[in-house]
Structure 1
Amino acid sequence: MQTILYARVSTADQTTAHQKNQAEQAGFKIDRVVADEGVSGVSVAFADRPEAKRLFDMLRPGDTLVVRWVDRLGRNYDDVTQTIRSLMAQGVVIRTVINNFTFDGSTTDPVQKAIRDSLIAFMAATSQAQAEATKEAQKAGIAHAKASEGKYLGRKPSYDRKTFEAVCEALRASVSVSEVARMHNLSRQAVIRIKDNPEQAEAALAKWH
């Protein structure tokens, strides 16, 4: 049996190496890494991604598929739930690095199945909601920047858009402020400002970038 890490890397996300490092630090022994680079989790379904397609042929019953969080599988509720169910039907165990969740299709107890299915639904819904919230924050920031055009720009943020979106994603996944600051070489104060008021942080970023 093998343990495969699936990493999806968008233009505003962490690197494959970083996701592998996170998994190993969490205690996973990774036998192989499969990654889709520059692929959106919103607009491209899991089964339509070049490398993700290979997983259905590579994985065997009893294998474990590790992902940093369910948002690596997708940002659409229906796509994520369908993907997890398809993999479980194949006999694959899905585990997440963040929160250490396990989805195992071999469960037969009806109560445990209900808990598992409810958790899958909740996490899939959260993944889609996060993507929609980020999109709305971006729109609000851009609108605010346009309204403030020609006015005092204020202090330039210590982060770029790539870092801002990665920070927001990590915070939504319950990574601590100190860990997020360390991961992205930011001050704790900068991370706290993003956490407390992401719309204002987005607006400040939009003025400068």
Structure 2
Amino acid sequence: MTGQRVGYIRISTSDQHPDRQLDGQTLDRVFTEHASGKDRNRPQFAALCAFVRSGDTVVVHSMDRLARNLDDLRQIVQTLTQRGVAIHFVTEHLTFTGNDSPMATLILSMLGAVAEFERALIRERQREGIAMAKQRGVYTGRKKALNPATIAQVVDRAAAGESKTALARELGISRETLYQYLRQHAATDRTR
């Protein structure tokens, strides 16, 4: 009996379309992730890992959809193949089973290194673009999540003892963002 073919799709921006990644593939189940590939803490990836069994094949559009860092890519491939799960990369036309030749391991490492290098180039170009925009005075950064009136209310409510977690949830921001606003407000008060 052959195992299931399980697809993994990862998109990191809202303008990417998940449908194109595994178009034309016959799959028993698909896990779709809307997250960056820079780390392995992705809920759908974790669900996929819990779901697959020995004899299954994980089908991924390309290596950079599974991991954007060579160490993570090799570790993921090794972990899954040691459990008897094959990994097939559609774009690269490569399948890893754990019984791979040294040449297959070399190709995995080379292509994974290229994906990691590409990500580093993107980040470098982004930093350069931001620096140039700042020099021209056109970079304003991310739009503030809260306006000054809301910040003042939040500061008062937090000072009154309201749960910061509940406040962050109500405002639709992370706790860290809430803490940043509180720290900025405290720093402003100290300078007055």
Shorter chain as denominator, the TM-score bin is: 0.5 to 0.7
Q: Relative contact order (alpha carbons < 8 A, sep ≥ 6): 1 or 2 greater?
A: 1
**Residue correspondence of structure 1 range 12-91 to structure 2 within 5 A:** 14-21=16-23, 24=24, 28-37=25-34, 39-42=35-38, 44-45=39-40, 48-91=41-84
Displacement of 1:144 in angstroms is 2.8
Output one character per residue of 1:149-199: Cα deviation in whole Å (capped at 9) or x when no partner: 58xxxxxxxxxxxxxxxxxxxxxxxxxxxxxxxxxxxxxxxxxxxxxxxxx
From 116, 129, 137, the equivalent of 1:128 is 116
Displacement of 1:69 in angstroms is 0.7
TM-score when normalising by structure 2: 0.64
**Residue correspondence of structure 1 range 55-204 to structure 2 within 5 A:** 55-107=48-100, 113-149=101-137
Displacement of 1:83 in angstroms is 0.3
Q: What is the identity, as a one-letter code, of the residue corresponding to 2:134?
A: K
Maintained 8 Å contact 1:76/1:128: yes
Aligned-partner SS, 1:55:
helix
Rounded Cα–Cα distance in structure 2 between residues aligned with 1:4 and 1:41: 19
Identity of aligned residues (%): 34
Rounded Cα–Cα distance in structure 1 between residues aligned with 2:27 and 2:45: 17
Aligned-partner SS, 1:130:
helix
Distance 1:102 1:13, change over 3 A: farther
Rounded Cα–Cα distance in structure 1 between residues aligned with 2:105 and 2:93: 16
Rounded Cα–Cα distance in structure 2 between residues aligned with 1:29 and 1:12: 25
Rounded Cα–Cα distance in structure 2 between residues aligned with 1:103 and 1:13: 30
Q: What is the identity, as a one-letter code, of the residue corresponding to 1:118?
A: L
Rounded Cα–Cα distance in structure 2 between residues aligned with 1:80 and 1:12: 24
How many aligned residue pairs are there? 136
Partner of residue 10, structure 1: 12
Displacement of 1:12 in angstroms is 5.8
Output one character per residue of 1:102-136: Cα deviation in whole Å (capped at 9) or x when no partner: 112134xxxxx211111121122112111110001
Larger Rg, first or second structure (1 or 2): 2
Runs of at least 5 residues in structure 1 that lack an aligned partner in the other structure? 108-112, 151-209
Rounded Cα–Cα distance in structure 1 between residues aligned with 2:15 and 2:30: 17
Rounded Cα–Cα distance in structure 2 between residues aligned with 1:14 and 1:104: 29
Q: What is the identity, as a one-letter code, of the residue corresponding to 1:78?
A: D
Distance 1:73 1:92, change over 3 A: same
